[in-house]
Structures are given as structure tokens and as C-alpha cells.
Amino acid sequence: DAKTTQPNSMESNEEEPVHLPCNHSTISGTDYIHWYRQLPSQGPEYVIHGLTSNVNNRMASLAIAEDRKSSTLILHRATLRDAAVYYCILRLYGGSQGNLIFGKGTKLSVKP
């Protein structure tokens, strides 16, 4: 899998939008961009994924750069419950690889 780069940590205020960046300059044309998050003392949780177009779901939005070398996870209104480590992961479209390859992620702190 291609490598991703994320800031180690970010801070946000409650009820404000949060933009979590991820660089993946070596992404291939068939890599999907996935985001997972891990709340304290819990297993990781799927957030969103996309290939080329921006994506929205009930949890977040994913904005993908036109050249696909970077993406941004957007939490529209951060809550205290969004404090977690956020992982950006690339997954090959095809092939037999099944596992996720996690980096260190971005630790998001949310201040009341």
C-alpha cells in the first residue's frame, strides 16, 4: 500500500468544523482512501471512504484533491465525542490484500 502522512495531533473547539488533512502523494489510480477513527479504549470505527469524488455520510465528509495526492476529512460540527485518533488508509481496489495498514494517525482533541 502507498504511504499516507498525517499530522500527529490537532485541536478543535466544540461545535466548530474540523478539517483533518492526509497526504498520499504516491497514491495509485486504483487506491481507495479510507478513514477510520479510534475513540479512547475502543476498537477502530469506520468513518468514510472514497475514490475520486467527494463523499458525504452522516458522520463526515471526505474531500479529495483533484490530483488525488491529498484528502481532507471534514467533521462539520465537532463534539466532545469526536475526540479520537483518526487514521487515513489507502486500500487497493483489487487484488487479494485484505488487511488495513494503520499509521499513527492524528489525535484530535476537542475543547468545550
Partner 1 sequence: DTGVSQDPRHKITKRGQNVTFRCDPISEHNRLYWYRQTLGQGPEFLTYFQNEAQLEKSRLLSDRFSAERPKGSFSTLEIQRTEQGDSAMYLCASSRGTSGRPGEDTQYFGPGTRLTVL
Please tell me whether residue 59 binds partner 1 under the rule CB under 8 A: no
The DSSP output letter for 14 is: T
Please tell me whether residue 98 binds partner 1 under the rule CB under 8 A: yes
CA gap 18, 14 in Å, rounded: 10
Please tell me whether residue 29 binds partner 1 under the rule CB under 8 A: no
Please tell me whether residue 57 binds partner 1 under the rule CB under 8 A: no
Please tell me whether residue 37 binds partner 1 under the rule CB under 8 A: no
Beta bridge partners, 70, equal: 23
Q: How far is the CB of 28 from partner 1 (least distance, A)?
A: 11
Q: What is the DSSP string of 26-64?
A: T--TTEEEEEEEE-TTS--EEEEEESSS-EE-SS-EEEE
CA gap 74, 63 in Å, rounded: 8
> Which of 30, 52, 54, 109 is in the footprint of partner 1 by CB under 8 A?
30
Segment 65 to 94, residues that bind partner 1, using CB under 8 A:
85, 87, 91-94
- Contacting positions for partner 1 (CB under 8 A): 30-32, 34, 36, 42-46, 49, 51, 85, 87, 91-105
